[in-house]
Amino acid sequence: MIQTFRALFTLLSKSEQRKYLFLGLANTMTSLLDLAGVLFSGFAGVIAYSYFSSAPMPVAVGNVLSSSPLSQLSLKTQLIICGVSIIILFVTKSLLSLILTYLNLKFLRQLAVLYSLKIYRGFAKKTFYEIRKLSRDSFSFALTDGALQIFIGMLGSYITVFAEVFFLSLALVVMFIIDPLLALILIGVFGFLTFFSNRLVSKRIISSGNENVTRSIEGKRIASETKVLFRELNLSGQFLGFSQKYQLNRSKASSAVLKMNFLQLFPKYFLEFITVLSGVILLVGNGNNAGASMAAGKISIYVAAMVRLVPSLLRIQTALVSIQSGLGGVETTLAVFKTVPTQEIYNREDGNHSSATQPSGVIIRELSFKFMDEDAYLFEGINLDLPPNTMTALVGTSGSGKSTLLDLILGFTENTSGVVLIGGLPVQQYIAENPGAIAIIPQEIVLMDGTLEENIALGVSADQVDYARMAFAIKGAMLEGMLELLPLGLQTQVEENGTRFSGGQRQRIVIARALYTNPKYIFLDEPTSALDEETEKSFVSMLETLKLNSTLLVISHRKASLAIADQCYVLAGGKLNVLDDENQSAKVIKSLEESNEIF
Query: What CATH number corresponds to the domain at position 200?
Result: 1.20.1560.10
The predicted pLDDT at position 351 comes to 36
Range of the domain at 365: 361-425+539-599
Measured CA to CA, the distance from residue 487 to residue 195 in angstroms comes to: 68
CATH number, residue 392? 3.40.50.300
Q: Are residues 91 and 112 in the same domain?
A: yes
Quick check: is 351 in a domain? no
Q: Are residues 313 and 405 in the same domain?
A: no
Quick check: is 132 in a domain? yes
Q: Are residues 559 and 493 in the same domain?
A: no
Q: Are residues 245 and 322 in the same domain?
A: yes
Contacts of 79 (CB under 8 A, 6+ apart): 44, 47, 48, 51
Name the domain count of the chain: 3
Do 213 and 328 form a contact (C-beta atoms < 8 A)?
yes
Measured CA to CA, the distance from residue 93 to residue 329 in angstroms comes to: 33
- The alpha carbon dihedral of 92, 93, 94, 95 has a sign of positive
Q: Which amino acid is at 128?
A: F
Quick check: is 280 in a domain? yes
Q: Are residues 514 and 589 in the same domain?
A: no
Q: Are residues 105 and 234 in the same domain?
A: yes
Other Cβ atoms less than 10 A from the Cβ of 357: the count is 8
Q: Are residues 247 and 126 in the same domain?
A: yes
Cα angle value 343/345/349 (rounded, 5°) = 150
Q: Are residues 318 and 184 in the same domain?
A: yes
Neighbouring-strand partners of residue 493: 451
Q: Are residues 158 and 208 in the same domain?
A: yes
Contacts of 266 (CB under 8 A, 6+ apart): 197, 200, 201
Quick check: is 308 in a domain? yes
Quick check: is 497 in a domain? yes
The predicted pLDDT at position 345 comes to 39
Exposure string over 305-344, b if 16+ CB within 10 A, otherwise e: bbebbeebbebbbbbbbbbbbbbbbbebbbebbebeeeee
Q: Are residues 74 and 30 in the same domain?
A: yes
Do 411 and 496 form a contact (C-beta atoms < 8 A)?
no
Digitized pLDDT (tens) for each residue of the chain, 599 residues in all: 677 788 888 878 888 889 988 988 888 888 888 778 877 777 777 777 677 766 666 666 667 767 777 777 787 887 788 888 888 988 898 898 889 888 888 888 888 888 777 777 766 666 565 666 666 777 777 777 777 777 777 888 888 888 878 877 777 777 777 667 666 766 666 666 666 666 666 677 777 777 877 888 788 777 777 776 665 566 556 667 777 887 888 888 888 877 777 776 666 666 666 666 665 555 555 554 445 555 555 565 566 556 666 677 667 777 777 777 677 677 777 777 666 443 443 443 433 334 444 557 889 898 888 877 777 888 888 888 999 888 998 887 777 778 888 888 888 777 778 888 998 888 888 888 888 888 888 878 888 888 899 888 888 888 888 999 999 889 888 888 889 998 999 999 887 777 788 877 888 888 888 888 888 999 988 776 666 677 677 777 777 877 888 899 988 776 666 777 888 888 887 788 877 655 455 555 555 554 544 44
Measured CA to CA, the distance from residue 382 to residue 406 in angstroms comes to: 12
Measured CA to CA, the distance from residue 394 to residue 579 in angstroms comes to: 10
Q: Note the helical H segments in 501-571.
A: 503-516, 533-546, 559-563
Contacts of 445 (CB under 8 A, 6+ apart): 497, 498, 503, 506, 507, 510, 530
- Asked which of 270, 305, 337 is the last residue of a domain, the reply is 337
Measured CA to CA, the distance from residue 16 to residue 186 in angstroms comes to: 38
